[in-house]
Amino acid sequence: MNMTRREFLKSAAVLAALAPFARLRAQDPATPPAEGADAKPRATGPITRRTMAGESVSLLGFGCMRLPRGGDGKIDRPAAERLWSRYLEAGGNYFDTAYMYHDGESEVAVGEFLSKRPRDSYFLVDKMPVWMARTEDGLKRVFDDQLARTKAEYFDFYLMHSLGWGNWDLARKIHALEFLLERKKEGRIRHLGFSFHDAPEAMDPILDAYDWEFAMIQLNYQDWTRYRSKEQYEKLTAKGIDVAVMEPLRGGALARLNDPAKAILRQADPDASPASWAFRWVASLPGVKLINSGMGRDSDLEDNIRTFSPVKELSDDERGTIAAALAAFQQSQAVPCTACRYCVPCPAGVAIPEIFALWNAYKADGEKGRFLRGYEKLPEDARASECVRCMRCTKHCPQKIAIPDELAKIDAEYLALKGD
């Protein structure tokens, strides 16, 4: 009997089965990393610091969008708090959350953890989603909710979230900048910036509107030209605006890579993880002051602490190595999805991020059987064939993916593979 969508979303067994593809880990996230002959020594820290908006911030920020989950789909609080404690111990101090992360649970979990610690020992970061506020009254409701959820009296860094042509027009209509400047005057916001997802041209009116203290953009070695991140970075640095970075691993894709790309990196440095190469590439840009990473496992956190303690800039030879690895990787990647989940819930119930994760894994490793098994674990009414082309997902996708078209391609190839 086929599962319903509701049963699917609640099923820990299905999540575990899809773990290799969707970055939902089958292992218990509350289990610390194993010790033994093959285990790397624990990183010592301290994490490199840089100055952003006049503050000494750890170059490695803790992004709280992809926290470890328990079997019920909720944040695994013990696992998350262990990761956060270790991050603080290593010299980290920047906690980045947002109103919709984990359906609002991220702000609550972060707030409960940080509120037990000295207020000057960390920076609390949050964001205003104008598309959720919608009105001037909505701005106040969201902001007040965030203060209550995080148990905070103020935010150290606060951003207008995911700006581009559409969201900036809405922000102007509901006077979002004016609202946030009032909160800044009141001491509820210390440093004001924005996060950005659009073509570089869409940044110009935003930059003209205010002397922003910092801005966060998607930046990694794959998107430098593909997503036009280079142009965004140059616009910000030309204005003297400090750059914070999201998606340095492109949703984990640059940590996984394909076998040919990994082999190139391994030959250059057998001890360095693919993730460490990607982080060092971003950190070598002088305008970058903060790099957010979503660290859901102890092993990921320890690897990142090693990379950032202290971070080492790339040599020219190492830049060439990354260019060669990127060329090998781009031959196989299918859909540039970062699993941000802004496209869900889908009105038709299609499991968009899970489908793209399965598809990209298949294109990387060529394992037809594993793709078919994983895809067929999805309930039939959550598969690509159920897309009705309502286009809601395309309006919310930061990567500007033509999602219905990609789903149609995947459905067609699935049927062809099934018939082989």
DSSP letters, 10-41, are H-HHHHHHTHHHHS--SS-TTSPPP-STTSPP
Residue 375 near residue 407, CB atoms below 8 Å: no
In the chain, pLDDT over 70 holds for what percent of residues?
90
Residue 333's pLDDT is: 63
Mean pLDDT score of the chain, rounded to an integer?
90
Residue 365's pLDDT is: 66
Of the listed ranges 336-340, 360-364, 380-384, the one predicted with least confidence: 360-364
pLDDT band at 367 (very low <50, low <70, confident <90, very high): confident
Q: Between 157 and 365, where is the model more confident?
A: 157
Q: What is the pLDDT of residues 190-224, one digit of tens each?
A: 999 999 999 999 999 999 999 999 999 999 999 99
Q: What is the DSSP letter of 268?
A: H
Alpha carbon distance 232, 200 (integer Å): 5
Alpha carbon distance 158, 180 (integer Å): 9
Strands (E), 270-359: 288-293
Question: Is residue 331 pLDDT above 90, yes or no?
Answer: no
Q: What is the mean pLDDT of residues 129-141?
A: 98
pLDDT band at 361 (very low <50, low <70, confident <90, very high): confident
Residue 22's pLDDT is: 42
Residue 143's pLDDT is: 98
Residue 37's pLDDT is: 39
Please name the residue ranges forming H helices in 151-273: 165-173, 176-185, 204-209, 223-226, 229-238, 253-256, 259-268
Q: Between 244 and 30, where is the model more confident?
A: 244
Q: What is the mean pLDDT of residues 32-45?
A: 60
Q: What is the mean pLDDT of residues 405-412?
A: 92
Q: Between 366 and 175, where is the model more confident?
A: 175
Q: What is the pLDDT of residues 5-23, one digit of tens each?
A: 444 443 443 444 444 444 4
Question: Is residue 301 pLDDT above 50, yes or no?
Answer: yes
Of the listed ranges 81-85, 307-311, 315-319, 354-358, the one predicted with least confidence: 354-358
pLDDT band at 245 (very low <50, low <70, confident <90, very high): very high
The enclosing H or E element of 105 equals helix 105-114
Domains assigned to the chain: 46-330 (3.20.20.100), 335-419 (no CATH)
pLDDT band at 295 (very low <50, low <70, confident <90, very high): very high
Residue 179 near residue 140, CB atoms below 8 Å: yes
DSSP bridge partners of 229: none
Q: What is the mean pLDDT of residues 376-395?
A: 94
Q: Between 337 and 60, where is the model more confident?
A: 60
Residue 302's pLDDT is: 97
Q: What is the mean pLDDT of residues 94-111?
A: 98
In degrees and rounded to multiples of 5, residue 64 shows phi and psi of -110, 35
Residue 1's pLDDT is: 38
pLDDT band at 39 (very low <50, low <70, confident <90, very high): low
Residue 75 near residue 106, CB atoms below 8 Å: yes
pLDDT band at 273 (very low <50, low <70, confident <90, very high): very high
Q: Between 96 and 341, where is the model more confident?
A: 96
384's tokens? 């690509």
Q: What is the mean pLDDT of residues 60-66?
A: 97
In degrees and rounded to multiples of 5, residue 58 shows phi and psi of -70, 135
